[in-house]
């Protein structure tokens, strides 16, 4: 079961699964009913063909013993930037048009037609709220249950417990090749040949946003300072850092770094 963290490569992962399903002969279900309650989710999993892969945006779900869960995370500021551009993306069709119109109706905080960095500075100057209720902005929610999120009990301790014990594997989109190597090792039935396949899929299939949005500029130091002062940022940052450290431990544990790659990393450090 793939728990799709929004703006962390989930569209690319779905595209990859479609190809791998043909190559490795398994069924899959990309569910469009996002964030189902526990009963609905349990019923969906129960009806899935044995050996199939279920993909959805959802809170953490304590799966049955015969179900393996995995997810992929992303650095919080880069994730927020991606969500900003995706919100009004042409790829969203009418939803993107509606989102742009909503931004245009709010001259103080809407940031219509603005760069992400400029938007963050403008919102700070206009004293716009720093608390987002968007599930796509809150990566930690994908490590907490529906009830924990609802009751404001999604703490770093809870999220890290799920990171270490709730998921069979957690990838990091900034290290996509090693993520796929790890998935090949942990889930060979489904991810056999994943790395090779990923690099041979048409690039247009691997992104939810268009090329212009993917080439958006870096986040300025001023915007980073503002974003890091948001109330929810410390939790998101600490969870990501824990996930990245755990990820590299798993990569080393499964002996996925070759001597040649190790030498390349040492050469980069030397320069």
The yes-or-no verdict on residue 145 having pLDDT over 60 is yes
The pLDDT value recorded for residue 118 is 94
Q: Tell me: the pLDDT tens digits for 42-52?
A: 889 888 888 99
Q: How many helices (H) and strands (E) does the chain have?
A: 14, 5
Helix 116-125 and helix 221-228, axial crossing angle in degrees, nearest 10? 60
For residues 15 and 20, give the distance between their C-alpha atoms in angstroms, rounded to a whole number: 9
What letter does residue 36 receive in the DSSP assignment? -
Q: Where do the structural domains in the chain lie, given as residue ranges?
A: 2-75+138-218+232-270
Q: Do 144 and 153 form a contact (C-beta atoms < 8 A)?
A: yes
Q: What is the mean pLDDT of the chain?
A: 88
Phi, psi for residue 191 in degrees, rounded to 5: -105, 15
Judged against a pLDDT cut of 60, whether residue 267 lies above it is answered with no
Torsion of Cα atoms, 242 then 248 then 249 then 254, to 10°: 150
Instruction: Give per-residue pLDDT as tens, 199-254.
Output: 999 877 776 554 444 445 589 999 999 999 999 999 999 999 999 999 999 999 99
CATH code assigned to 2-75+138-218+232-270: 3.40.50.300
What are 2's strand-pairing partners?
Answer: 55, 70
Per-residue pLDDT, 210 = 45
Task: Provide the residue count of the chain.
Answer: 271
Asked if the model's pLDDT at residue 162 lies above 80, the reply is yes
Higher pLDDT, 266 or 88: 88
- pLDDT over threshold 50, residue 21: yes
Distance of CA 173 to the CA centre of its chain: 7
Tell me the mean pLDDT in the region 252-270. 66
């Amino acid at each position: 079961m793939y728990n799709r963290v929004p703006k962390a490569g989930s569209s690319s992962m779905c595209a990859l699964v479609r190809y791998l399903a043909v190559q490795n002969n398994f069924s899959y279900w990309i569910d469009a009913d996002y964030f189902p309650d526990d009963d609905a989710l349990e019923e969906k999993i129960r009806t899935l063909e044995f050996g199939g892969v279920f993909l959805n945006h959802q809170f953490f779900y304590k799966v049955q013993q015969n179900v393996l869960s995995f997810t992929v995370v992303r650095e919080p500021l880069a994730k927020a930037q991606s969500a900003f551009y995706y919100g009004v993306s042409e790829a969203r069709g009418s939803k993107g048009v509606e989102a742009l119109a909503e931004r245009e109706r709010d001259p103080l905080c809407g940031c219509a037609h603005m760069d992400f960095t400029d938007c963050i500075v403008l919102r700070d100057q206009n004293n716009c709220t720093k608390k987002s209720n968007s599930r796509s902005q809150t990566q930690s929610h994908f490590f907490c249950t529906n009830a924990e999120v609802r009751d404001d009990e999604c703490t770093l301790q809870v999220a890290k417990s799920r990171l270490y014990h709730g998921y069979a594997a957690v990838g990091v989109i900034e290290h996509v090749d090693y993520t796929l190597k790890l998935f090949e090792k942990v889930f060979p039935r489904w991810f056999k040949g994943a790395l090779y396949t990923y690099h041979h899929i048409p690039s247009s299939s691997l992104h939810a946003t268009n090329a212009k949005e993917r080439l958006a500029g870096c986040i300025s130091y001023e915007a980073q300072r503002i974003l890091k002062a948001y109330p929810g940022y410390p939790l998101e940052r600490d969870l990501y850092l824990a996930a990245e450290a755990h990820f590299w431990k798993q990569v080393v544990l499964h002996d996925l770094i070759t001597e040649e790659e190790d030498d390349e990393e040492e050469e980069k450090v030397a320069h």
